[in-house]
Structure 1
Amino acid sequence: MKNILKGLAAAALVFAVATPVSAASFDLSFNTQNTGARNSLTYNYNDGLDSLTVYGLSGRNNQTISGNTVQTWAGYGMGTPTQNGSHRVSNDSVRGQRVYQMVLFDFGREVSLDSFTVGDSAWGNNNWASVLAYTDTAPLTTLSGLTWSSLLQNGFSHAGDANTYTGVAEGTPKLVEGGLTSQYWLVGVYNAVFSDNPLGTYNEGFKLTGISFSTMDVSEVPLPAAAWLFLTGLAGMSWMKKRKQKRDQLQAA
């Protein structure tokens, strides 16, 4: 009986403060509408409780990153306008200087980006991509004044190594590696400034047709149940203490 009460007391203390974590997975398609060029796009998820905001970014590898418009084309996906007007998330060659195009996802909360899918690609089933996550504890306020090469020194981390996103097939989800969670994710064509992979010598280009991601939801134990278990445990421990004191007094007598 004594051991049972101890077990109940311990369980009460545990369950009274437990906060189980459960994952919720979501899929978003960028393939169903024509939005026209905008400064940003917004998508609601989690029954409308949360929203994703998407921004377009571009810039040569040794110059500062600048904002770009972003839009979707029905049947083709999401992209940012490029220097040559192909409207793909792309890497243009302009007078020998690479112009990299990427999109910045702001999920409004920490998420795990699970996969992304490309379409309307320049290289069919042999595309290359870069994926980064913002992992610093400081709030991300702006990318103004930064270059692509400085991102890794300003809070961003690789999601997978340099060879992870080579051979990305059009229309097939590409899994995101690295085990990172972040509110902010950068997805775009392969950018040679993040590594020395020689595949960066090619001109890549594609639209994003969709992403999959997961959130971590914390659900608290209902207070009445937790409080009842907690009080039961305390009562049991108090009863055991009084019983021990009485037994000790009888032995002393």
Structure 2
Amino acid sequence: MKYIKRVALCAMSLLSSTVFANDSTLNEETYSLGSTKYISESLNPLSSNFIEIDGQKIYVGITGWADTGGSSDLVLEQGAIKGWENSKGVWGYGLYNNDTRHNSQYGTYDTHSLDNYTNEGSQDFDMFLISFSEEVTLTSASFSYKHGGDGEREITVAGLKNANAFQDAVNSTWSDVYSTIVENTLGHFSLGNKVNGVFESSFTNTISGTAQYWLVGAYNTVFDKNNTSHTGIGLKLSSLNIGLKDNTQQPPSTEVSEPGALALMSLGLGLVLYRRKRRV
């Protein structure tokens, strides 16, 4: 009888167990950089610049950076962001850095694009730093312009723990920034075909982490330890898809699926009948 009691007790315990479920759905919205030649540049999120996701305002700041400073041409310097409208009416933004030369002989267009051309300068990688008031994830991006590239590694995306490397007089390099990358936020992506004036790139198969600071720019080999070479590319960023995780804890539930409950009850009843039959 002790064995039967233990079985019955186990069945009752499972029937009355408390279950908690976490809903980690991702609420997404598209953040457009704008539709004007110049945008407000700020390392910190601006109260006048925001995206609303599921009723919550997420404030945004944006600056542009390239390793074009110092005698070794490796120190990060802030450049000027400027926008252009393409033939389809889509606005995209590039970066004026210290290598603002246009050299058609080598196919470099450093006068306006977010690029990684190496013919002029030493391994210069242009990237936008986007700051948010909350931790978010990036799910995709669109670009209004693309020049060059190899269809494989064309853009780099990375979430950062902080923006300390971009403060004044720090003299940081991309290698310094690499040490602050948040787990599960780094990826290198290609761009799809141009549709309705934009090139799209999705990050969802690689990026799952969240961060307040994100870098988006031309493919950066400093962030890719498995590769040291690349094909030059110039880009203009148009918009980003921003995701905000909703980790809502559901109220406790005592429900167990009907087939499972019936199976447990049948097991207990069968053991009782078997025990009584043996005694007779």
Whether the 8 Å CA contact 1:38–1:69 is kept in 2: the answer is no
Whether the 8 Å CA contact 1:125–1:168 is kept in 2: the answer is no
- Higher RCO (Cα < 8 Å, 6 or more apart): 1
- 2:232 is paired with a residue of what secondary structure? coil
Q: Distance in 2 between matches of 1:149 and 1:119?
A: 29
Q: Is there any run of 5+ residues in structure 2 with no aligned partner, and where?
A: 1-7, 102-109, 255-280
Aligned to 2:36: 34
Identity %: 20
| Paired amino acid for 1:181 | G
Whether the 8 Å CA contact 2:114–2:127 is kept in 1: the answer is yes
After TM superposition, give the deviation of residue 9 of structure 1 in Å: 4.9
Alignment match of 1:70 (pick from 81, 104, 115): 81
Superimposed CA distance per residue, residues 177-203 of structure 1 (whole angstroms, 9 cap, x where no aligned partner)? 423322222111122333464652x43
Structure 1 length-normalised TM: 0.67
Aligned to 1:100: 125
Superimposed CA distance per residue, residues 131-178 of structure 1 (whole angstroms, 9 cap, x where no aligned partner)? 2222x4xx4434343211232223356623xxx424654423212142
- 2:146 is paired with a residue of what secondary structure? coil
Aligned to 1:159: 186
Alignment match of 2:164 (pick from 133, 141, 156): 141
Distance 1:149 1:120, change over 3 A: same
Distance 1:63 1:112, change over 3 A: same
Distance 1:95 1:2, change over 3 A: closer
Aligned to 2:271: none
After TM superposition, give the deviation of residue 44 of structure 1 in Å: 2.2
- 2:246 is paired with a residue of what secondary structure? strand
Distance 1:191 1:55, change over 3 A: same
| Paired amino acid for 1:33 | S
The structure with more helix, counted as a fraction of residues = 1
After TM superposition, give the deviation of residue 220 of structure 1 in Å: 4.8
Whether the 8 Å CA contact 1:62–1:147 is kept in 2: the answer is no
Distance 1:194 1:218, change over 3 A: closer
After TM superposition, give the deviation of residue 102 of structure 1 in Å: 0.5
Aligned to 1:249: none
Aligned to 1:43: 50
Aligned Cα root-mean-square deviation (Å): 3.5
Aligned to 1:205: 234
Listed as ranges, the matches of 1:1-253 within 5 Å are 9-11=16-18, 14=19, 20-30=23-33, 33-36=35-38, 38-40=40-42, 42-46=49-53, 47=55, 49-60=57-68, 63-74=74-85, 75-82=90-97, 83-84=100-101, 86-93=111-118, 95-123=120-148, 126=151, 128-134=154-160, 136=161, 139-143=162-166, 144-155=170-181, 159-160=186-187, 164-166=188-190, 169-170=193-194, 171-176=198-203, 177-183=205-211, 184-195=213-224, 197=227, 199-200=229-230, 202-221=231-250
Q: Distance in 2 between matches of 1:221 and 1:166?
A: 38
Whether the 8 Å CA contact 1:56–1:101 is kept in 2: the answer is yes
Superimposed CA distance per residue, residues 198-220 of structure 1 (whole angstroms, 9 cap, x where no aligned partner)? 652x4321101222232111335
Aligned to 2:275: none
Distance 1:182 1:199, change over 3 A: same
